[in-house]
Amino acid sequence: MIEIKDMKKQFHDNVVLDGIDLTIHKGDVIGIIGPSGTGKSTLLRCINRLEVPDEGSITIDGHTYTSKAMKSREVIELRKQTGMVFQRFHLFEKKTALENVMEGLIVVQKKSREEARQIAFEELERVGMLPWINHYPKHLSGGQQQRVAIARALAMKPKLLLLDEPTSALDPELVGEVLDTIRNIAKSGYTMLLVSHEMEFVRKVSNRVIFLDNGHILEDGTPREVFEHPKNERTREFITKMNRLVEADYVI
């Protein structure tokens, strides 16, 4: 179980996270939705400390990491238990797909090259990238790069996988392959926080959806509850707007 308590973050006088509490159960796939600029990315980045939260704590399997006075050793410890998939992939440019996946295993987990290779092969196979293991990021399409990035995160066997709009930097025809990959890993029992604007996908893949607005969690329930019977007026507005965007897409 992972517990986030009273997570706060502000940039100057812009309060982005205003005391977020969130309990994540093992195997949860939580979709995080909300208008642009409400702090969805900031929440994920505060969880693995790419951003330093002003306040709050994270408890993973009984070990509590308190935001203030966190030693760099603890930060590393925390990051080892979480994986991150970025909107813009951020693969290591000078390394092949295989080396990208092996990197964390060798450097962070101190595995032997042989063992790292073995694991990397398996993970790349899982995301369907085996034929491209010797390719460099510049040789890969966006969708392929993102699948390698997912393999890189999964290879570390994180207790929590954070995905920040993993498909929104992709050309429309490449979105499908990445969504399929994410659906597969969700099925295999990974605990995930997924920020996405793909409402239909969020509705299908998550067992729980959170609506984030103005630094607060306004809605927290099953996809059905949140999408079909939102309690909050803001949620209703947001979902109507997103639906209209999808319909507009169909018209075009």
Partner 1 sequence: MGKMFDFGLVFRQIPSLLQYLPVTMELAVISMLVGLILGLLLAIIKIKNVGFLNKIVNFYISVVRGTPILVQLYIAYFGIPMFLRYINTKLGTDYQVADIPGFLYAVAALAINQSAFECEVIRAALQSVDRGQIEAANSLGMTYLQALRRIILPEAIQVALPSLGNSFITLIKSTSLAFTCAVVEMTAQGKIIAGRTYRYFEVYVSLAIIYWVITILIEQLIKFFEKKTALPEQVAIYNPERALAAQEVQAHD
Ligand X SMILES: Nc1ncnc2c1ncn2[C@@H]1O[C@H](COP(=O)(O)OP(=O)(O)OP(=O)(O)O)[C@@H](O)[C@H]1O
Residues that bind partner 1 (CB under 8 A): 48, 50, 72, 76, 79-80, 82-84, 86, 88-94, 96, 103-104, 107-108, 130-136, 138-139, 149, 152-153, 156
The DSSP-derived string for 167-195 is TTTS-HHHHHHHHHHHHHHHHTT--EEEE
Specify the residue, 140 or 182, whose C-beta has the smaller distance to Mg ion: 182
Binding to Mg ion in span 36-95, by CB under 5 A? 41
65 interacts with, out of ligand X, Mg ion, partner 1, none, CB within 5 to 8 A per kind = none
Minimum distance, C-beta of residue 99 to ligand X, in the bound complex (Å)? 29
Residue 48 found at the interface with ligand X (CB under 6 A) = no
Contact 133, 164 (CB under 8 A): no
The torsion angles phi and psi of 225, rounded to 5 degrees, stand at -55, -50
CA of residue 8 relative to chain centroid, distance: 19
Smallest Cα–Cα separation from 2: which of 54, 53, 47?
Answer: 47
Specify the residue, 82 or 96, whose C-beta has the smaller distance to Mg ion: 82
Binding to ligand X in span 3-22, by CB under 6 A? 11, 14, 16
Residue from 24, 33, 40, 205 touching ligand X (CB under 6 A): that is 40
Q: How far apart are CA 51 and CA 236, in angstroms?
A: 30
Contact 142, 89 (CB under 8 A): yes
Give the interface with Mg ion as residue ranges (CB under 5 A): 41
